[in-house]
Structure 1
Amino acid sequence: MNTNKLVNRFKLTSDMILSPNIKQGILYGASIALMKGVSLLILPFVANHLSTEEFGRLEVISTIAVIGSILVGMGLEDTLFRFAGSEKSALKRRNTAAEIFTLTLIIAFFTLLGGWYLAPLLTPYFPGGPSVYEVRILLSVLALEGAIAVPLGWLRMNDRALSFFFSTTGRALIQSLLVVIFVMSDRGVTGILEAGLIAGLLQALLLIVLQLRDCGLKFNQQTSKRAFIYSLPIVASGLVAFGLNGMDRWVLAEQATLTDVAQFGIAAKFALAMVLLMQPFGMWWSPRRFEVLNSDDGKQKVAKYIVLGTVIALLITVVVALISPALIYWLLPATYHQAAQYVVAIALIMLLKELVELYNIGCFNGETTSSQLIINVVSTIIGISLMLWLTPLYQVWAVIFSLLMAQLIRLVLFYQVSQHFLSLAYPIHSLLLLSLLSALWLLVGAQVTGLALSLLVLVCAVVSLLLVAQQLKLISLPNTLLNKVAST
């Protein structure tokens, strides 16, 4: 009898600790960690088999996928969250999802067909010197991305983190395995692109089957029109934002060298860990933010979650910025060590981008998203102007400075405009104090060399940030955990 009571008490305790939201977050976190962790693990392998010039060419060619995914995706994942997520009825939600997915498949079909025949005409205009075959591979992958993004969004909306986990990590594992095989077979940059196409095709087929089983296909002209009106500013702003996420490689390739592109690209891949580690929170929060906003005390709850996300973002940025330089020296060939000089500054750029995603909710809380288009136009014009002016003189550092200024302007403008449309009460002074402490730790870390010392500074930084965030009432740590941390 006592044994049964003990088992029941353990089950109750575990259910309290692992709430549904925490379980979802763990699965999303594991999927992101495995999906991107595998690609980071094979990064040293790729770097050892590609020269800096080849790696730079791969970086420049890959930016074609950035601008293409904006066009093909049509912002339909955000449209799914906005319109299907706002439906109270489960049936209406499925119908809306089916209509948006059908529109996605139509766009994917015409992209695949048109891209295949237009590739010879487009190839001469792309930087990096890609072949017609490589451009066709890229455009084929892009055609699949819309059919992948919307079903993944649907899985997130319905808390099906396990299906999300197997889909994303499966693609990452298959792609990484194929990259190793193709690179060892001397396929080079072309082989890496082929690996991406095969893995993307397998993931798309799986997700299409799941989506069809859940919702089926439906075409509705009115829904398509609403989706087009809502997503058009998203697409336009995405194209404009390409100037801050892609144009940097193009400018470096034109004004500097492909080796500089490679160094910048390596630093950006390590700094991207900041964005990746934020994904579990973002993937949980993004589909639910409008649902929470429309609930009782919705504005207070939304502000609370955004503050929590800000604290998490600051912690992750400090972790990534302090450990990445040591990892670059430890894992990569000496020809790539210059990237360690850039990684902290690029991590700050990633932080500003993530903060924009947290604080821009007011700009999306309506039938249109034109405000974000205006903001992105202004910040991108400033960023590109600075890049074109300064890069011939200061190369990589000019690009980094330009991106920092542009992203800072984006954050300020998005915050102000979002507050105009949806006023939320944030503890601004407390957040600024925590940000200042984070910056101080980054300055300390910049003076540290060696992996062991970097880890020690990292532990001290994380502990102090958690304690200060607790004292400022930005987060609420469990008393038992707080006592343990304070006693270390």
Structure 2
Amino acid sequence: MKQFMKRLAGFSLGPILGAAISLILFPIFTNALPIAEYGRAGTFETLILQIPNFIYIGMDQAFTREYNHMDNKRNLMQQAMLLPLMLGVFLVAVSAIFSVPFSEWLFQSGDYYYIVWYAGVWVLATIVERFILLSIRMQEKAVEFSSYSLLLKVGNFIVSMGMIFAGVRDFRAIVYGLIFGQILADLVLFFRYRELLDLRGFQIDSKLIKKMFLFGTPIMIASSLAAALNSIDIIVLTEFSSLTDIGIYKAGSKIGSIIGILKTAFASFWIPTAYRWYEENKSMKHYKFISDIVLFLLSGLFFVILVLRYPISLILSSDGEYLDVQYIMGLLAFPHIMYTLSETTTLGIVFSRKTHYNIFVSIMSLAVSVIINLSLTPFIGFRGAALASTAAYVVFYLARTYFSSRTGFYFGQKKQIITMLIMITAGLINLYPLDYSIFITIGLGLLALVVQIPTIKTALEIKNHPGEWDFT
């Protein structure tokens, strides 16, 4: 268990420190920018971060699936990158042609067409970055992976703060930080791993590409639907609500992403570890304990966020513009919890190569999100979008778990379901001003702790009888 935790800590270091940088930037932005400007940046940021999920066309997941079966890792990476890069170049060309209308929709002005061009360069850099970081991750080079994950945040911080000090007080401070901060960090990454980008001797391996494409196609469809799921709330808010609502929702998402930090750290470590455990025929009790301990930690953090929601909202701005953020913090943390937890229950889908199940998962989740967003968001704004996001990711978790169970990978979900219902109740109670909500929230948090007492007992059992468990 000690070795397991050591590797997890290594993979977590970069995301956690990077999140600390983001948390420093967050109140700087909310205090320096009017909420409407934060909303304009929020729409752009949400949508551009989803674009790579369409462009990878599942080849990134196929790359990790084949990694342990191929001797020439560089050739494997280059073959996997080829189709996404071709698609990326096509997207850049299209965005350049239609840059003015894109700018008008995103920023309510066609004058910022050049930002669409910059975004195209960002997309191409992100594709290459993705595969290099996957290569590092699959080698389980925890500290190195964390270092470059941190470097990306440092680049964002330097450019964003440079814009603030230069007197920029609109959405460009965030947008330029995102685009140029990441590109600067990527240049360092590309130079460090330039041998992986050495194309001498490269020849297209159509059989390998076809094999990876067939594996990745269902994932591509599922990832595209998942990207739509992650964007639909902002799209509906943009169409039917105000920039203020978008600003509040985006600020709430940033708070919720505190848990997203752990999601990123855990997923980076867990995927290669789970694949290796599968090859080593680890018993199901190991997977179950990891799921239980993830639930224990994330549910605890969820209730901490809810209890501290008011002081957190006060930090965001001195004039109280962002006070309404407190009402959706809990609900916007929930998608990160459900996604992270589902990473421990969905393994049967990838182990069995039945990746088409992911399409059903994404369709079900997206349908729930669209229905609730269109029903509620035009009327209750950011609250409706938050409810839609929570409901969609509950379905996402349940569907992933169900389809994985059909492959034979399954462990009991009673504890997870009960704790999930308690957390949803707490999120709903905090959605509007309510007398004594803080005391009710604390009571629900204690109830969730009681439900998870068996997890604590198992942890003690592992400590006292380590020979019966193998987490290497």
Instruction: Using structure 2 for the length normalisation, give the TM-score.
Output: 0.84
Q: State the SS of the aligned residue for 1:335.
A: coil
Is it true that 1:354 corresponds to 2:336 in the alignment? no
Matched, 1:264 2:245: no
1:147 to 95, 107, 128: 128
The residue number in structure 2 matching 1:296 is 281
Who is 1:226 aligned against? 211
Deviation string for 1:178-230 (max 9, x for gaps)?
A: 11121232333224322322222223223334444358544322222222222
How far the C-alpha of 1:340 sits from its partner, in A, is 0.7
Q: Does residue 362 of structure 2 align to residue 376 of structure 1?
A: yes
- 2:455: which partner in 1? 469
1:237 is the counterpart of 2:260? no
Give the deviation of 1:456 after TM superposition.
9.8
> Is the 8 Å Cα contact of residues 273 and 320 (structure 1) preserved in structure 2?
no
Note if contact 2:95-2:117 (Cα within 8 Å) is conserved in structure 1.
Answer: yes
Cα distance, 1:326 vs structure 2: 2.2
CA distance in 2, matches of 1:72, 1:223: 19
Q: CA deviation at 1:108?
A: 4.6
Counterparts of 1:442 and 1:119, CA distance in 2: 40
Q: Judge which range, 166-175 or 42-51, deviates more.
A: 166-175
Correspondence 1:6-25 to 2 at 5 A: 19=3, 21-25=4-8
Alpha-carbon distance in structure 2 between the residues aligned to 1:427 and 1:155:
33
1:418-457 deviation line (CA, Å, top 9, x unaligned): 1002332x2333444555666788799987799xx99999
Alpha-carbon deviation of 1:411?
1.8
Conserved? CA contact 1:326–1:454, under 8 Å: no
- CA deviation vs aligned residue, 1:302-322 (integer Å, no higher than 9, x gap): 344333333333233233333
The answer (yes or no) to whether the contact 2:31–2:316 under 8 Å persists in 1 is no
431 and 171 in structure 1: CA distance in 2 versus 1, 3 angstrom threshold: closer
Q: Does 1:172 align with 2:158?
A: no
Verify: 1:156 aligned to 2:142, yes or no.
Answer: no
1:38 to 3, 21, 25: 21
Q: Which ranges of structure 2 fall in alignment gaps of 5 or more residues?
A: 466-472
Contact 1:322 / 1:458 at 8 angstroms: preserved in 2?
no
Question: Do 1:308 and 1:475's aligned partners in 2 also have CA atoms closer than 8 Å?
Answer: no
1:68 alignment partner, one of 51, 61, 72? 51
Alpha-carbon separation, structure 1, partners of 2:368 and 2:444: 34
Query: 1:465/1:324 Cα in 2 relative to 1: closer, same or farther (>3 Å)?
Result: farther
Residue 201 to residue 391, structure 1, CA distance change in 2 (3 Å): closer
**What amino acid is aligned across from residue 326 of structure 1 in structure 2?**
P
Output one character per residue of 1:333-366: Cα deviation in whole Å (capped at 9) or x when no partner.
3111110111112222332232233322222234
Equivalent residue letter for 1:195: G
Compute the displacement of 1:259 (Å).
0.2
Deviations 1:115-167 (A, max 9, x none): 44453464455575462112112222112111111111111111222222222
The residue that corresponds to 1:10 in the other structure is none
Task: Provide the TM-score with structure 1 as the length reference.
Answer: 0.82
2:172 is the counterpart of 1:190: yes
Shift of residue 245 of structure 1? 1.2
Q: Structure 1 residues 193 and 400 mapped into 2: Cα distance closer, same or farther (>3 Å)?
A: closer
Question: Counterpart in 2 of 1:483?
Answer: none
Work out the CA distance in 1 between the residues paired with 2:207 and 2:294.
Answer: 36
The answer for the alignment partner of 1:27 in structure 2 is: 10
The alpha carbon displacement at 1:332 in A equals 2.6
Q: CA separation in 2, counterparts of 1:142 and 1:28? A: 24
Separation in 1 of the partners of 2:288 and 2:454? 19
Runs of 4+ in 1 over 6 A off after TM superposition: 439-450, 453-466
Q: Which residue of 2 aligns with 1:247?
A: 232
- C-alpha spacing 1:96/1:368, structure 2 compared with 1 (3 Å): farther
Letter in 2 for 1:281: F
Distance 1:250 1:114, change over 3 A: closer
> Which runs of structure 2 are paired with 1:106-117 in the superposition (5 Å)?
106-112=86-92, 115-117=95-97
Q: 1:111 to 1:368 in 2, by over 3 A?
A: farther
Whichever residue aligns with residue 323 of structure 1, its letter is L
Q: Quote the Cα distance in structure 2 between the aligned partners of 1:429 and 1:373.
A: 26
What is the distance in 1 between the residues matched to 2:262 and 2:444?
16
Tell me, which stretches of 5 or more residues in structure 1 are unaligned? 1-15, 481-488
Q: 2:37 aligned to 51, 54, 67, which one?
A: 54
Residue of structure 1 equivalent to 2:469: none
Cα RMSD, aligned residues only: 3.4
Whole-angstrom distance in 1 between the partners of 2:149 and 2:394: 31
Mean Cα deviation higher: 389-398 or 244-253: 389-398
- CA–CA distance in structure 2, aligned partners of residues 385 and 475 of structure 1: 45
**C-alpha distance in structure 2 between counterparts of 1:292 and 1:77, whole Å:** 20
Q: Which residue of 2 aligns with 1:181?
A: 162
**Does 1:208 find its partner at 2:193?**
no
- Aligned equivalents of 2:160 and 2:420: distance in 1? 39
User: Whose Rg is larger?
Assistant: 1
Question: Aligned in 2, Cα 1:323/1:286: closer, same or farther, shift over 3 Å?
Answer: farther
Decide which of 71, 79, 85 is 1:99's aligned counterpart: 79
The 5 Å alignment of 1:386-401 reads 386-401=372-387
Judged with a 3 Å threshold, the aligned counterparts in structure 2 of structure 1 residues 158 and 122 are, in CA distance, closer, same or farther, namely: same
Q: Hey, what does 2:65 align to over in structure 1? A: 82
Alignment size in residue pairs: 456
Residue 55 of structure 1: how far off its partner (Å): 0.7
| In 2: Cα distance, 1:406 partner to 1:456 partner | 26
In 1: Cα distance, 2:73 partner to 2:281 partner = 21
* Contact 1:318/1:442 (<8 A) preserved: no
The AA in structure 1 aligned to 2:187 is: L
> Distance in 2 between the 1:455 and 1:438 partners?
9
Match of 1:135 among 116, 122, 142: 116
State the distance in 1 between where 2:315 and 2:440 align: 12
Hey, what's the Cα distance between the residues in 1 that align with 2:441 and 2:291? 28
Q: CA, structure 1 residues 153+383, in 2 after alignment: closer, same or farther (shift >3 Å)?
A: same
